[in-house]
Structure 1
């Protein structure tokens, strides 16, 4: 009799345990106050392999040599800023949404950022609008599977508690200049770019997103690629192109104004604006102070001083020259930064000194 009662109790205990675990098997149900996921929308500054996965575009070694010791599709010698931010939260590195062989169920989020992305044109892969559409499809399909009993997927609460990071706009400005638009024409496009970012945030908000992290764009006029390819050299005292940097600052001012407007409009939303421009410009113009050398020269490039950049010999292609591992360069390939530079920038982001409002990145793991 005692044996039967003990067995019955054990079966009931197992049934209760299974029921409890099943009810919280979707990520986000077990602790709705702690975001389990991070979704990223942007360009090459945040692309952890989307270009290689989505288009099969080769991103060859020595990309990835410093941390991963192989190419992972990142345009850097190592980790990107987004990788370092994930590590600060003890999250795994984000898998590109387009990666067909990752084997992941995206329990910690997904990366929709792809090299070369911009906000305009609106329906060209992989514009910000397309990235948001991909997210909407991903969310709808995920919740269908959860409703059908699938386990270890992001729940509706998980999507609501997630942090949504947006870092885009650099290519809109740089590409406009590259198409020989005048300075006035480039500036005239900024409101349209800002509108696309506004539409993206509102689309995500209407899907339940409430936590946003928005990066502005860096000093484009200090990028070795742009310095090398631009004919008109309106250089400032640090050797950067004044017109490009002024356009970037005007874009950033409009973006900051947008985030303030959205805070007032979107009830319950927390929107943090991060001044990446100031962080990067300080790094470039005070490089020696931080232990870096040749802030306007490329580590992985071709051609030697002053920029070591040649569009015909890109990093990872035959003939390129690469600096010694451990060298303190800011620029990796003329557009993207080294892991050493990204590490310094990430530490500044995490300090909250450049954030409006001054909310820490890990705040979202506690609220």
Structure 2
């Protein structure tokens, strides 16, 4: 579970609501999505885990399901859903573990993200089961072989390199549900300093990204870690005021983000033909949390769906949760995840933003790279 990228107000949600009608030559064909609950589209529905979003009112505004829960940790679409629509992806990327993730369905992309997942294999063990990044890349390797069978090796390689975007949103759980987790992480914190843990994260993540490159990924967008000390859960359990955040998680996120940016620069320089785009989640999120009223929100502290404490930030969203009346006026859907209204803003910034928030190019420019 984690916080996400937040950007500037989207000028017209209507542009994103429907499928793109642009010339098919300009359209993104496939989107391969990796990461945690910010991107999970239902993988966690298919195994036993304490991290699930397959119960109402999750998905209440997700039109494709008629308002029924799909396993998305929000009231509507994820950022990946919205970005894919706007770039011309014909259908949502199918969850890898879903029964229909076979045959031609995978040609439009596959979603491997898993609530509770992280860069490190130990991350998220509090949820019992989840798919970490190593497993997600293993699953993509299976998909990669399926592409060869469907299209032939040569055509499959070109398809993945030129017509596909690989989106990775991961890292928040490595702090919230690993290193900073009370009780379970005490031993780790004694034996490993924050600096050493962050270096370990970067080393592991480098290997995972290189594996995806070796499997013919070329266009990547990688989100950094947002201000995880500002989510409703953290504000609630630490009994903070609306304008306060927990400093330790935020400091570690900033430290990790600086090293992640350096890593992506190195990969761009050393992996021929690759483009790694850095999504500045942290600054985008702080912009919205700080100036939420300017973006049409009533609160950037209280969860729309949740229970417990001043900000409804302790108990995850479920059938017995309190539910806000104006879902579009809350930055956060639940104690951890943004609302669809926030995701629309995020998506707009990722698609069309400048290099302050997404560099060296935005996602529309990334799609159009030949």
TM-score under structure 1 length normalisation: 0.81
Is the 1:165–1:214 contact (alpha carbons within 8 Å) kept by the matching residues of 2?
yes
Corresponding residue of 1:349: 350
Larger relative contact order (Cα-Cα within 8 Å, sequence gap ≥ 6)? 2
Residue 181 of structure 2 is aligned to residue 178 of structure 1: yes
Question: What's the offset of the Cα at 1:102?
Answer: 5.5
Residue 366 of structure 2 is aligned to residue 363 of structure 1: yes
Decide whether aligned partners of structure 1 residues 237 and 48 sit closer, same or farther in structure 2, where only a CA change above 3 A counts.
closer
SS in 2 for 1:155: helix
Partner of residue 171 from structure 2, selected from 159, 169, 172: 169
Decide whether aligned partners of structure 1 residues 197 and 364 sit closer, same or farther in structure 2, where only a CA change above 3 A counts.
same
Residue 55 of structure 2 is aligned to residue 60 of structure 1: yes
Corresponding residue of 2:83: 85
Residue 283 of structure 2 is aligned to residue 281 of structure 1: no
- For residues 138-169 of structure 1, what are the alpha-carbon distances to aligned partners after superposition, in whole Å with 9 as ceiling and x for unaligned? 21133135459xxxxx8232122221111111
Rounded to whole Å, the distance in 2 between the matches of 1:357 and 1:309 is 36
Is the 1:302–1:310 contact (alpha carbons within 8 Å) kept by the matching residues of 2?
yes
Structure 2 residues not aligned, in runs of 5+: 1-23, 124-128
Corresponding residue of 2:21: none
Residue 226 of structure 2 is aligned to residue 218 of structure 1: yes
Corresponding residue of 2:157: 156
- For residues 91-142 of structure 1, what are the alpha-carbon distances to aligned partners after superposition, in whole Å with 9 as ceiling and x for unaligned? 1211111111466621111011111101112798511111001101221133
Is the 2:328–2:340 contact (alpha carbons within 8 Å) kept by the matching residues of 1?
no
Is the 2:121–2:133 contact (alpha carbons within 8 Å) kept by the matching residues of 1?
no
Is the 2:242–2:301 contact (alpha carbons within 8 Å) kept by the matching residues of 1?
no
Decide whether aligned partners of structure 1 residues 121 and 283 sit closer, same or farther in structure 2, where only a CA change above 3 A counts.
same
Rounded to whole Å, the distance in 2 between the matches of 1:53 and 1:361 is 33
Structure possessing the higher radius of gyration over alpha carbons: 1
Decide whether aligned partners of structure 1 residues 66 and 325 sit closer, same or farther in structure 2, where only a CA change above 3 A counts.
farther
Residue 96 of structure 2 is aligned to residue 97 of structure 1: yes
Partner of residue 50 from structure 1, selected from 32, 38, 43: 43
Decide whether aligned partners of structure 1 residues 126 and 360 sit closer, same or farther in structure 2, where only a CA change above 3 A counts.
closer
TM-score under structure 2 length normalisation: 0.80
Partner of residue 203 from structure 2, selected from 179, 195, 199: 195
**Ranges of 4+ aligned residues in structure 1 off by more than 6 Å:** 31-34
Question: What's the offset of the Cα at 1:256?
Answer: 0.3
Question: What's the offset of the Cα at 1:227?
Answer: 2.5
What count of residue pairs does the alignment treat as equivalent? 325
- For residues 43-64 of structure 1, what are the alpha-carbon distances to aligned partners after superposition, in whole Å with 9 as ceiling and x for unaligned? 0111111111344856211111
Partner of residue 308 from structure 1, selected from 306, 312, 316: 312
